[in-house]
Amino acid sequence: MLRSFRQVFKSNRTPMAAVMIVVLLGLVAYLAPTGGAVSADTVVARVYGHEVLMRELAEHMQELYQRYGKQASPEALKPFIQSQALRDLMNQKLMEELADRHHVVVTDDEVGARLRAFLRQYPMLLDPKGGLKTTAELKQIFQETGFNPAMQERAIRSELLRTKLVQQSALQVPVDEAWIAQENRLRHEKVAFQQVVLAVDASTVVDPGDTTLEAFYKAGGERFLQPLRRVIQFVAVDRAALGKDIQVDDAALKAAFEARKGDTTEFKARHILFKAEGATQIQEATTKAQLLRERLVKGLDFAKTAEAQSEDPSAKGNGGDLGWFTASKMVKPFSEAAATLKPGEISQPVRTQFGIHLIKLEGRREKKFEDVKAELAREISDSRFNSRAQERLEQIRKRANGGDLAAAAKSLGSPAQLSQPFSNEPSAQDASLPELAQIASEAFRMKVGDVSKPQAFAGRHLLYRVQEELPEAVPPFKEIRTKVLTAYRLEEARKVALAKAQQALRSGGLAAVGSVSDQAAAPLSGLRDLVAHPGIRKALLETTIGQATPVLWTQDGKLWVARITSRESAPALTFETRRGLIQELQTTEAQKVLSAELQSLDQQGRLRPGFSSFWGHFGGIYINTSAAQVSVEE
């Protein structure tokens, strides 16, 4: 490609010089950081040249809101949703980069075939002949149901890429006879045994004093190594900090009540549903509903008819009774039809995404101010709290202008605090910063000195600045004496427990060690907690019937010993079962390799986070933190 470009350039220097200037200017603009107004095409992140656009982030955030939205308030969920959505999309781009490197390609035809197969699972999308409906019909259904085919297409493409990468890697995994034989035994050989499991009590070990502990500390090597840690300066704004600013008076409550009068009317109704998907079924159901309506209007009991004929499962026990509801609680065609009825009237057939309904209105009432006063007060107070907390933190951020937050925070009545040093782990904790586990990962993605956007959490809002980074180090003994003492006590307690168990086993057998429990004959693969430990797995496979295993330690630090009582050999492998086992082993290992490659790509890319250079633009991972804050309809 470059050779062809040079030949063209040499053949006509003057015109090509002009072209090169235009190209270079475009490249400079392309490499420049995103600034100014944020649009759907704004680059939120770039992973080895693969871009994550604002529209993709917003769409995926919306999908996550729909998935998790009922578990907490949208504001409380927003930091988690935003971080998760960006992480998901960046992982997808890492997958695309890895596929490029391995020359793995997913064609549009493959994606299209898989998407069509997915859509054919839903009868409502099929025509009478069993094929997919027309594009116009599908588009209407997608709009009504909120289904986004583009998002499904991206998910299919990503899954196909992963599958092909795993398949390619699996072919390179060598599986020898020993591995096959052991895996066959783990899955099919049935072993019965008696076992003793003992917890170790370290609290009985006395404090030996600083001299012994310092010697233990010095011999411990990297046991007490602290990983890379960071300290953040943070400002928190809760309800107490805003005081009267978020209180709601009667005037505001009455104004809100008047503004919402359209949704203060409640209806009580029953309905009969005839399910229908597709033009033919809808026509049949509509005709059926019209004929039934004539009989209902003439006096046929609606509740009994709903019990007998409605295809809504809930109608079978309550005669189609929907109780009291507001218009916003029902799909629009249903609520609009109910609103036009007088108590006692029966609607004409009403079409919704669920099918064809007949609605009988049984009552209508208006909510009074006193009925909704408390709910309105909570909503308005929450809204004021969220907006004013965000405003205050944004003011602090602007006044600090990228520097220390303390002075700006103090001037607005919200003191800044420093967190305890923390590592980039989900288990990160700080009593003064309960949100730490949720922001630790993002705090490590930021540079030292960077300031976050104001973020909302349950009960309060946060602004934080990366204050400093502490390198890996073994802290001085005095700083971690408590940790050293805990480790010393545990080690000493384990030495004593192991010696006692081994002596008891030699002198009195398994029962002398502790309380014995029986494990019925079963394949070892079903005992995941035990066989995940290499030593225990080996002992259960190799110890003969009637003999005791060595005394070992479980993964959760308990002493374990067993006596094999029976063993039923695994059946011999046939050609088919052998081939299936090999493929499964190769696939499992290939998935591990894929995860490791993706993690390595991620780590390498984050070492080159900028894109001020050509290499940084295409060879690293860049996150546009100023654009990553997305407003999403909830």
Q: Is the pLDDT of residue 30 over 60?
A: no
pLDDT at 32: 40
- As given in the structure block, the two tokens for residue 541 are 């496979």
CA–CA gap between residue 536 and residue 361 (Å, rounded)? 68
pLDDT at 96: 92
- As given in the structure block, the two tokens for residue 156 are 């299919």
DSSP conformational letter for 526: G
Whole-number percent of the chain with pLDDT over 70: 86
Q: Is the pLDDT of residue 389 over 60?
A: yes
Q: What's the CATH code, domain 190-202+480-568?
A: 3.10.50
Q: Is the pLDDT of residue 6 over 60?
A: no
Decide: 43 and 624 in contact? Cβ < 8 Å.
Answer: yes
pLDDT at 76: 62
Tell me if residue 44 falls in helix, strand or coil: strand
Instruction: Give the range among 212-221, 255-264, 377-386, 479-488 with minimum mean pLDDT.
Output: 255-264
For the 265-366 domain, the top CATH level (class) is alpha beta
Decide: 608 and 616 in contact? Cβ < 8 Å.
Answer: yes
Decide: 322 and 271 in contact? Cβ < 8 Å.
Answer: yes
Average pLDDT value over all residues in the chain: 84
Whole-number percent of the chain with pLDDT over 90: 48
CA–CA gap between residue 622 and residue 612 (Å, rounded)? 10
Determine the average pLDDT of the residues in 205-218: 95
Decide: 45 and 52 in contact? Cβ < 8 Å.
Answer: yes
pLDDT at 407: 93
- Domain 33-171+595-623 matches domain 190-202+480-568 at the CATH topology level: no
Q: Is the pLDDT of residue 560 over 80?
A: yes
- Provide the pLDDT confidence category of residue 73 given band limits of 50, 70 and 90: low
Determine the average pLDDT of the residues in 124-145: 86
- Cβ atoms within 10 Å of 312's Cβ, excluding its own: 18
Q: Is the pLDDT of residue 354 over 90?
A: no
- Provide the pLDDT confidence category of residue 60 given band limits of 50, 70 and 90: confident
pLDDT at 104: 94
Instruction: Give the range among 29-38, 82-91, 207-216 with minimum mean pLDDT.
Output: 29-38
* Domain 226-249+373-470 fold: Chitinase A; domain 3 (3.10.50)
pLDDT at 263: 66
Report the interhelical angle of 149-170 vs 575-606 (nearest 10°).
110
pLDDT at 4: 33
pLDDT per residue over 228-281, tens digit each?
Answer: 999 999 999 988 887 776 777 777 777 766 666 656 688 899 999 999 877 788
Determine the average pLDDT of the residues in 26-37: 42
Determine the average pLDDT of the residues in 348-352: 92
pLDDT at 624: 79
The domain limits of the chain are 33-171+595-623, 190-202+480-568, 226-249+373-470, 265-366
Q: Is the pLDDT of residue 8 over 50?
A: no
Q: What's the CATH code, domain 33-171+595-623?
A: 1.10.4030.10
- Provide the pLDDT confidence category of residue 529 given band limits of 50, 70 and 90: confident
Nearest to 92 by CA among 48, 147, 40: 48
pLDDT at 10: 37
pLDDT per residue over 426-468, tens digit each?
Answer: 778 888 899 998 889 889 989 999 999 998 887 899 999 999 9
Q: Which residue has the higher pLDDT, 629 or 404?
A: 404
Q: Is the pLDDT of residue 353 over 70?
A: yes
pLDDT at 617: 52
Decide: 252 and 290 in contact? Cβ < 8 Å.
Answer: no
Q: Is the pLDDT of residue 31 over 50?
A: no
Q: Which residue has the higher pLDDT, 70 or 624?
A: 624
pLDDT at 626: 65
pLDDT at 349: 93
pLDDT at 343: 93
pLDDT at 593: 94
CA–CA gap between residue 523 and residue 517 (Å, rounded)? 17
Q: Which residue has the higher pLDDT, 182 or 27?
A: 182
Determine the average pLDDT of the residues in 503-518: 95
Determine the average pLDDT of the residues in 536-550: 96
List of long-range contacts for 379-384, beta carbons under 8 Å, 24+ apart: 379/256, 380/248, 380/252, 380/253, 380/256, 381/246, 381/247, 381/248, 382/73, 382/75, 384/242, 384/245, 384/246, 384/248
Determine the average pLDDT of the residues in 398-410: 92
Q: What is the pTM of this model?
A: 0.57
Determine the average pLDDT of the residues in 290-317: 89
Close Cβ partners of 239 (under 8 Å, ≥ 6 residues apart): 246, 385, 459, 460
pLDDT at 260: 65
Q: Is the pLDDT of residue 26 over 50?
A: no
CA–CA gap between residue 322 and residue 269 (Å, rounded)? 6
- As given in the structure block, the two tokens for residue 418 are 């420093």
Nearest to 468 by CA among 421, 431, 434: 421
Query: Which range has the top average pLDDT, 27-31, 156-160, 187-191, 530-534?
Result: 187-191
Q: Which residue has the higher pLDDT, 145 or 590?
A: 590
- Provide the pLDDT confidence category of residue 21 given band limits of 50, 70 and 90: very low
pLDDT per residue over 609-619, tens digit each?
Answer: 655 444 445 67
